[in-house]
């Protein structure tokens, strides 16, 4: 008999098939339709800065609404504690050292638009896979994954080479140098040394010239000319880059074209919001991926007049509240176009808040709640534990809280599989599909171990012991706080990954995060019967993990991060790079 006849004849089979038909759209939403994706990624936002994660003084009603209508992750982990490597991991689903996007030196992020390092062309982002699945893909906001390799216009690292159909935003990252009224931020200590060296060389030259003129020093004029030439060349060698940071790094692009050089910061927020909403409106009739990569809440904390002075946390709080308002505007645009039920919205931060970022008495960095450490610290929770919120009405249960280890790298396989694509099989993908966990069909995260790097240096490892529910974390290196006991590296501005600024632990510091999330009470063999067992198991996991690593070119090597004038994006004839096409409109 045919299958339909069999169904009607069997009183048991008919209800079963009917139930499967009803259940199918929920268990396999990607087979019914390809959802839209709106990925919202904040910059330097601390987990303690958001209302639904415990902050009761900074107002974030729209982010809180996302959590109320969706799923909130309380143990969502960035793969790195700084922008460039964390975002590389987010885009590729792989630890950043697999793509060469983590540093062996102190230059731990892309430093110049005119550097030659960046996300390698052979890396496959989730945007590239969705593009092949028929999605319209757009990136609005911050990139910070490099621009060019060998020439000014090869755009080998550009978003359009990595799967995005449309790009509007900063190829670099927002820094205080972009705001003429702010104190320069980029390589501040190194610049001071260069200025001091220039002044000393200039003083020596001037003294020699005066000595020759007064007859106190017997020196040939040719020697003085060479000394003066050296002084001038030394000054030009560094001032040609550091003296024009605002022109070289603070630019806005639309696709391959530069629209503002330097950027006009007063209108940046409104333009990014306008572009984001316009992208949704243009692509509402087909599946789309919008990656809105906020410039908030990175210094110099660009904030419009409407939000200045509104919060109880100074300029930083004003900036966070403005970002929350932008989230609300994007959500309203989704609702207006009738896309709410067919759009998966995700909100997170690229890493923890920057504790050391201060100007005088002003705190310009974020707050990481109960968690120790912050930005640039690869092991402590405050540097890597971030907000993580998903909303997809009708598919994900509203008001759900999940306290399982998850990673920003998990977005990659989750988005790819929902779009009907396939995760690459020719490389290691470290992310795991989150949909079973988000929907409640799985109890535990698929991550047993997560490895916490600071640059290429392994600082800590997390082991989720699923049979007991324990979350162990072993620290092999930790930064030395300065001043001692301060909780951050205030004397340096950033905590280092290696060298004299870190402490090596043998045996490792061990914490049980489900009992001690603040990492305040390290365990020992005397206080924890399982100490040796846990350390041995984590040690074996490290050995297994390291066997999966293969050598790749270092994208953040000194030769790749230095400023190269022939790679500088320029909207005029180099070095006369200036334009304002937004004003021309």
DSSP three-state, residue 448: coil
Distance CA 288, CA 341 (A): 14
Set 7, 52, 144, 178: catalytic member? 144
Active-site residue flag, 132:
no
CA dihedral 557, 292, 368, 511 (to 10 degrees): -70
How many CB atoms are located within 10 Å of the residue 254 CB? 16
Set 7, 52, 76, 83: catalytic member? 83
Distance CA 220, CA 253 (A): 52
Active-site residue flag, 144:
yes
Q: How far is CA 448 from CA 93, 324, 347, 460, in A?
A: 16, 33, 24, 14
- Among positive and negative, which fits the CA dihedral 154, 159, 165, 168? negative
Q: How far is CA 406 from CA 221, 290, 431, 435, in A?
A: 69, 22, 9, 12
**CB contact at 8 A, 166 and 255:** yes
Distance CA 169, CA 257 (A): 11
Which tokens in the block code for residue 193?
Answer: 């040394």
Angle between helices 188-214 and 221-242 (to 10 degrees): 160
Distance CA 445, CA 113 (A): 38
Distance CA 143, CA 150 (A): 19
Q: Catalytic residue numbers?
A: 83, 144
């Amino acid at each position: 008999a045919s299958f339909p006849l069999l169904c009607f004849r069997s009183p048991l089979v008919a209800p079963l098939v009917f139930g499967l038909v009803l259940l199918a759209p929920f268990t396999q939403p990607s087979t019914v339709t390809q959802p839209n994706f709106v990925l919202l990624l904040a910059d330097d936002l601390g987990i303690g800065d958001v209302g639904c994660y415990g902050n009761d003084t900074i107002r974030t009603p729209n982010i809180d609404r996302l959590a109320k209508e969706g799923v909130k992750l309380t143990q969502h982990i960035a793969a790195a504690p700084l922008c460039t490597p964390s975002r590389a991991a987010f885009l590729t689903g792989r630890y950043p050292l697999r793509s060469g996007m983590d540093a062996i030196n102190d230059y731990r992020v892309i430093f110049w638009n005119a550097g030659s390092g960046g996300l390698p062309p052979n890396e496959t982002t989730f945007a590239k896979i969705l593009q092949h699945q028929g999605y319209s893909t757009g990136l609005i906001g911050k990139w910070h994954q490099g621009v060019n390799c060998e020439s000014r216009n090869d755009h080998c690292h550009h978003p359009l080479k990595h799967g995005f159909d449309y790009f509007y935003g900063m190829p670099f990252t927002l820094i205080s140098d972009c705001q003429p009224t702010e104190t320069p931020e980029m390589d501040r200590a190194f610049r001071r040394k260069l200025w001091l060296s220039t002044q000393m060389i200039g003083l020596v030259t001037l003294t020699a010239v005066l000595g020759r003129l007064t007859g106190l020093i017997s020196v040939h004029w040719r020697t003085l000319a060479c000394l003066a030439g050296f002084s001038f060349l030394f000054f030009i060698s560094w001032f040609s880059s550091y003296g024009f940071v605002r022109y070289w790094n603070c630019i806005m692009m639309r696709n391959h074209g530069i629209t503002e050089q330097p950027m006009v910061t007063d209108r940046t927020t409104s333009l990014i919001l306008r572009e984001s909403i316009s992208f949704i409106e243009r692509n509402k009739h087909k599946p789309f991926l919008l990656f809105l990569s906020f410039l908030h809440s990175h210094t110099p904390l660009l904030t419009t007049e409407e939000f200045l002075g509104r919060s109880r946390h100074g300029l930083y709080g004003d900036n966070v509240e403005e970002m929350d308002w932008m989230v609300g505007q994007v959500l309203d645009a989704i609702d207006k176009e009738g896309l709410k039920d067919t759009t998966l919205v995700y909100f997170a931060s690229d890493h923890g808040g920057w504790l050391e970022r201060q100007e005088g008495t002003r705190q310009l960095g974020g707050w990481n709640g109960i968690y120790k450490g912050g930005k640039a610290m690869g092991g402590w929770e405050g540097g890597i534990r971030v907000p993580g919120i998903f909303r997809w009405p009708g598919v994900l249960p509203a008001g759900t809280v999940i306290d399982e280890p998850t990673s920003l790298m998990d977005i990659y396989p989750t988005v790819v599989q929902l779009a009907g694509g396939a995760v690459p099989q020719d490389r290691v993908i470290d992310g795991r599909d989150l949909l079973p966990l988000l929907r409640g069909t799985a109890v535990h995260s698929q991550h047993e171990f997560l490895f916490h790097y600071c640059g290429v240096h392994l600082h800590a490892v997390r082991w989720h012991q699923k049979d007991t529910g324990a979350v162990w974390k072993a620290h092999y290196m930790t930064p030395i706080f300065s001043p001692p006991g301060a909780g951050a590296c205030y004397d340096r501005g950033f905590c280092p990954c290696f060298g004299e600024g870190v402490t090596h632990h043998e045996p490792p510091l061990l914490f049980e995060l489900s009992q001690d999330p603040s990492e305040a009470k390290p365990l020992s063999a005397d206080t924890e019967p399982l100490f040796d067992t846990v350390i041995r198991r984590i040690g074996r996991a490290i050995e297994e993990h390291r066997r999966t690593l293969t050598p790749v070119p270092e994208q953040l090597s000194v030769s790749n991060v230095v400023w190269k004038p022939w790679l500088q994006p320029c909207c005029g004839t180099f070095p006369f790079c200036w334009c304002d096409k937004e004003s021309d409109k």
